[in-house]
Structure 1
Amino acid sequence: MTRALFSVFAAAAFLTGCASNQFSPKGDAIFYALQADTMMNTWRYECAAVSGRANYAAETARADWWQRNGDAVEAADFGLAYNLITVTDTRLDTGARVAMGLTWEVQERAVQTVRNKLDGASDKEALCVKILGEYQAGKWDIKGSEDIQQALASLEATAASEQGTYRERKGIVETATGKRYGRSLYVVEKLSDQQSCDRSGVSLIKGEWPYEIYNVECDDQPLSIVRCEWGRCTFVE
């Protein structure tokens, strides 16, 4: 079984959680919202490299899309983090790696989809402007079924009241385990492989999701810094 496929099954299990967990019925909504945000961001980043016009369209579309959908995305992120740390308790390694695997798999799927569409387009700029215009107009807003909409609305309300509980539990777990993880770790590992980095270690040195900075120890280069934003990572030159 590939790591990507395993991450989907594992994430489904943890998002489902146990019957007593108040977030367990909302797993589908969490996954749906995170997929939608990742796809939007992927169009944004890929089109930004096509042309100045496409870059402007990307930034404008992102601002408008986030104004309408940002609360739902942040609630889904909180639901994922809260559910994992509640289900896994002090087994932080298990929960963190499920979150990392889910982030990596969703990012991979989005990048492959967008790049395939751009590679097959005769006019990449025109395609970007078209798709980003649809995002700006609300065609790709986070909606889903009635159940998903209700679940996301419930998550938004609960996230506001449970932030303190989550931070307290997270602090207890990190103190007990002595470990700190970042959601983009798997993405950083794959990026370093693509850069022919024979790494001896990857560690989160700063930041909280969605903005993270990693130290990658490559044998031929003692210190490499990788910056990540919403699961999209680049080496700092």
Structure 2
Amino acid sequence: MDLGLKDKVAIVTGSGRGLGAATARCLAREGARVVLTDIEPNQLEITKGQFLEQGLEVIALRADITKKQEVDDLVAATVEKFGGVHILVNNAGFPRDRVATKMTEEDWDLVIEVILKGSFLACKAVLPHMIEHKWGRIINISSRAYFGNPGQANYSAAKAGLLGLTRALSLEDGKHNITVNAVAPGFMETEAIKMLSYYEKIRELAIKNTPMARTGLPDDIADAVAFLASERASFITGETLHVTGGRYG
């Protein structure tokens, strides 16, 4: 199936590794010209090198997406290199888990800033270019955690906020032929998850509570994003696609 992504320009935040890297790889394999961006320059260069070895068209630009100027510079460099930007995947984010009574203000602010403020700044920067070209796709990576997870008040709030952002922008920008959707992953087998000391325990629990009786893989998210970014999803906007193996609670 041709997804119509050849020569589209895509920015994927947090694409040094994990879900972001898998998504960037998938889009590049579909013919998109991809901008990898992350706050970790060393990992970014490693991933870029792997992509280039596979014959994929990518560039890598370090950026802290909580800083407006750095986001604006990222988008400006993308437009200068490729002539525009058609697809934005807001993937950057991470948890800082503690029960609310022990959660620090820093824990709260950092998670909210990266996930929610960073996504807003990126959307704000790319939308004028998408409006000019009368074509755009924004996909926000939320999480099943938006239902609320114990020990994740900050992360759950940020991921729920992304759904509000998604709906608001879909209503604002549909008239410009821009779709804005969200993907809500369930438990995913990423490098970061596997490094947790309690990884086996939460993996076992996730499988037990997932109707599909398996954990998710980064490519499961990447495929969902590629579909929403494609011409095949041109009449879908303001939606949240749950990629959870059937798990909601």
Q: Which of these two proteins has the greater Rg computed from alpha carbons?
A: 1
Instruction: Determine if the TM-score, normalized by the shorter chain, exceeds 0.5.
Output: no
Instruction: Report the TM-score, using the length of structure 2 for normalisation.
Output: 0.28
